[in-house]
Chain A
Amino acid sequence: MVAATTPVLDPAAVAGAGRGTLLRLATAGSVDDGKSTLVGRLLHDTKSVLSDQLAAVERVSRDRGLTAADLALLTDGLRAEREQGITIDVAYRYFATANRSFVLADCPGHVQYTRNTVTGSSTADVVVLLVDARKGVLEQTRRHLAVTALLRVPHVVVAVNKIDLVDFSQEVYDRVESEVQAVARELGVVDAIAIPVSALDGDNVAERSTRTPWYAGPSLLELLEALPPSDDPANESFRLPVQLVIRPQGAARDPQFRDYRGYAGQVASGVVRVGDEVVALPSGRRTTVTGIDLGEASLEEAFAPQSVTLRLADEIDISRGDVIAAATDAPEPTQDIKAVVCWLGDAPLRPGQRLLLKHGSRTVQTAVRTLDGALDLDDLHAVPAESLSLNDIGLVTLRLASPVPVENYSTSRRGGSFLLIDAHDGRTVAAGMVGATLPTAADAPSQPEGDEEWEI
Chain B
Amino acid sequence: MTTTVTNTPSAEARTDRRLSQLDALEAEAILVIREMAGELERPALLFSGGKDSVVMLHLATKAFWPAPIPFPVLHVDTGHNFPEVLAYRDETVERLGLRLVVASVQDYIDDGRLRERADGTRNPLQTMPLLDAINDNRFDGVFGGGRRDEEKARAKERIVSLRDEFGQWDPKNQRPELWNLFNPRHRPGEHVRVFPISNWTEVDIWRYIEREDIPLAPLYYAHEREVFRRDGMWLAVGPYSQPRDDEPVERRLVRYRTVGDMSCTGAVESPARTNADIVLEVAASTLTERGATRADDRISEAAMEDRKKEGYF
Q: Which residues of A contact B (CB under 8 A)?
A: 6-9, 11-12, 14-15, 17-22, 50-53, 56, 60, 74-75, 77-80, 82, 88-94, 96, 101, 103, 115-116, 118-119, 122-123, 229-230, 232-234, 243-244, 246-248, 251-254, 257, 260, 264-266, 271, 273, 293-301, 303, 305-307, 309, 320, 344, 356, 358-361, 413-414, 417-419, 421, 424-428, 431
B contact residues around A418 at 8 Å (CB): 181
* B251 contacts partner chain A, Cβ-Cβ < 8 Å: no
Q: B149's closest neighbor in chain A, by CB?
A: A94
Count contacts between A and B, CB distance < 8 Å. 254
7 A-B pairs with least C-beta separation: A77-B152, A426-B185, A52-B291, A295-B62, A14-B283, A307-B30, A248-B67
- A246-B66, A295-B61, A306-B23 known; A233 and B178 CB under 8 Å? no
B27:A307 contact, CB within 8 angstroms: yes
Q: A104's closest neighbor in chain B, by CB?
A: B155
Restricting to B1-41, which residues have a CB under 8 Å from any CB of A? 4-9, 12, 16-28, 30-31, 34-35, 37-38
Given contacts A50-B288, A90-B156, A306-B19, 18 further A-B contacts (CB under 8 A): A15-B280, A15-B283, A17-B203, A22-B25, A91-B155, A92-B148, A92-B156, A94-B148, A94-B149, A116-B176, A232-B16, A297-B9, A305-B24, A306-B23, A307-B26, A309-B65, A359-B181, A426-B186
* B223 contacts partner chain A, Cβ-Cβ < 8 Å: no
Residue pairs across A and B with Cβ atoms less than 8 A apart, 7 shown, are A14-B284, A20-B21, A21-B20, A77-B152, A91-B152, A92-B156, A257-B67
A contact residues around B217 at 8 Å (CB): none
Q: How far is the CA of A22 from the CA of B200 in the complex (A)?
A: 12
A299:B7 contact, CB within 8 angstroms: yes
- Contact among A89, A94, A253, A294 with B171 in the assembled complex (CB-CB below 8 Å): A89
Restricting to B98-117, which residues have a CB under 8 Å from any CB of A? none
B contact residues around A243 at 8 Å (CB): 31, 34-35, 37-38
Q: How far is the CA of A78 from the CA of B152 in the complex (A)?
A: 7
B contact residues around A360 at 8 Å (CB): 181
Restricting to B192-207, which residues have a CB under 8 Å from any CB of A? 198-199, 201, 203-204, 207
- Cβ proximity bits B68-98 to A, threshold 8 Å, 1 near / 0 not: 1000000000000000000000000000010
A417:B5 contact, CB within 8 angstroms: no
Q: A419's closest neighbor in chain B, by CB?
A: B181
* B230 contacts partner chain A, Cβ-Cβ < 8 Å: no
- A56-B301, A260-B66, A425-B187 known; A118 and B176 CB under 8 Å? yes
A17:B17 contact, CB within 8 angstroms: no
Q: Which of B23, B175, B178, B284 has the most CB of A within 10 A?
A: B178
Query: Nearest Cβ distance between residue B309 and chain A, in whole angstroms?
Result: 9
- Contact among B27, B152, B187, B306 with A266 in the assembled complex (CB-CB below 8 Å): B27
Q: Which residues of B contact A (CB under 8 A)?
A: 4-9, 12, 16-28, 30-31, 34-35, 37-38, 61-68, 97, 148-149, 151-153, 155-156, 158, 171-172, 174-181, 183-187, 190, 198-199, 201, 203-204, 207, 279-280, 282-288, 291-292, 301-302, 305-306
- A234-B17, A266-B30, A299-B5 known; A77 and B68 CB under 8 Å? no
A253:B17 contact, CB within 8 angstroms: no
B204:A119 contact, CB within 8 angstroms: no
A414:B180 contact, CB within 8 angstroms: yes
B contact residues around A265 at 8 Å (CB): 34
A18:B283 contact, CB within 8 angstroms: no
B contact residues around A414 at 8 Å (CB): 179-180
Query: Nearest Cβ distance between residue B148 and chain A, in whole angstroms?
Result: 4
B contact residues around A21 at 8 Å (CB): 18-21, 24
B4:A89 contact, CB within 8 angstroms: no
A contact residues around B288 at 8 Å (CB): 50, 52-53
A246:B177 contact, CB within 8 angstroms: no
Is chain B's interface secondary structure helix, strand, loop, or mixed overall? loop
A7:B153 contact, CB within 8 angstroms: no
Q: How far is the CA of A56 from the CA of B17 in the complex (A)?
A: 41
Q: How far is the CA of A301 from the CA of B20 in the complex (A)?
A: 16
B contact residues around A118 at 8 Å (CB): 176, 178
- Contact among B17, B27, B30, B38 with A271 in the assembled complex (CB-CB below 8 Å): B17
B286:A297 contact, CB within 8 angstroms: no
A244:B37 contact, CB within 8 angstroms: yes
Q: How far is the CA of A101 from the CA of B204 in the complex (A)?
A: 11
Q: A76's closest neighbor in chain B, by CB?
A: B152
B20:A20 contact, CB within 8 angstroms: yes
B7:A89 contact, CB within 8 angstroms: no
Q: Which of A14, A414, A421 has the most CB of B within 10 A?
A: A14
Q: How far is the CA of A101 from the CA of B16 in the complex (A)?
A: 18
A295:B65 contact, CB within 8 angstroms: yes
Q: A91's closest neighbor in chain B, by CB?
A: B155
Q: How far is the CA of A288 from the CA of B122 in the complex (A)?
A: 55
Q: A247's closest neighbor in chain B, by CB?
A: B67
A contact residues around B175 at 8 Å (CB): 427-428
Q: How far is the CA of A296 from the CA of B178 in the complex (A)?
A: 31
Q: How far is the CA of A305 from the CA of B27 in the complex (A)?
A: 7
A306:B27 contact, CB within 8 angstroms: yes
- Contact among A8, A78, A230 with B156 in the assembled complex (CB-CB below 8 Å): A78
- A300-B4, A414-B180 known; A18 and B207 CB under 8 Å? yes
A contact residues around B4 at 8 Å (CB): 273, 300-301
B27:A320 contact, CB within 8 angstroms: no
- A77-B155, A295-B65 known; A92 and B286 CB under 8 Å? no
A contact residues around B23 at 8 Å (CB): 306
Q: B204's closest neighbor in chain A, by CB?
A: A18
Q: How far is the CA of A72 from the CA of B192 in the complex (A)?
A: 30
Q: How far is the CA of A6 from the CA of B287 in the complex (A)?
A: 11
- Contact among B63, B171, B286, B292 with A7 in the assembled complex (CB-CB below 8 Å): B286
Q: B160's closest neighbor in chain A, by CB?
A: A428
A contact residues around B16 at 8 Å (CB): 232
Q: Which of A60, A94, A356 has the most CB of B within 10 A?
A: A94
- A260-B66, A299-B6, A418-B181 known; A11 and B283 CB under 8 Å? yes
Q: How far is the CA of A295 from the CA of B8 in the complex (A)?
A: 10
B21:A294 contact, CB within 8 angstroms: no
Q: How far is the CA of A427 from the CA of B174 in the complex (A)?
A: 10
Q: A59's closest neighbor in chain B, by CB?
A: B301
A contact residues around B187 at 8 Å (CB): 424-426
Q: How far is the CA of A275 from the CA of B10 in the complex (A)?
A: 23
Q: How far is the CA of A147 from the CA of B51 in the complex (A)?
A: 39
